Amino acid sequence: MSVVDVCPDQLEVFLNIVMKKGNIAFVRIAKLISQCFNGEVPEQCCIKLNKQ
């Protein structure tokens, strides 16, 4: 599933789960994904996620 296919509601649930688990790597990815949804182009997000 690409970043483009994730709807905001699913993203919010995902972020809540990630923050509760406290896994640092996943928290960083979650923050990166949330930045993508805050105005950045989805294609750029996919590139960033792949480079991490």
Please give the structure tokens belonging to residue 52. Answer: 């991490």
Q: What is the block-wise mean pLDDT of the chain (52 residues), using blocks of 10 residues?
A: 54 72 72 68 51 46
Please give the structure tokens belonging to residue 45. Answer: 């997000």
pLDDT of residue 46: 53
pLDDT of residue 27: 72
pLDDT of residue 22: 66
pLDDT of residue 12: 72
The reported pTM is 0.33
pLDDT of residue 47: 47
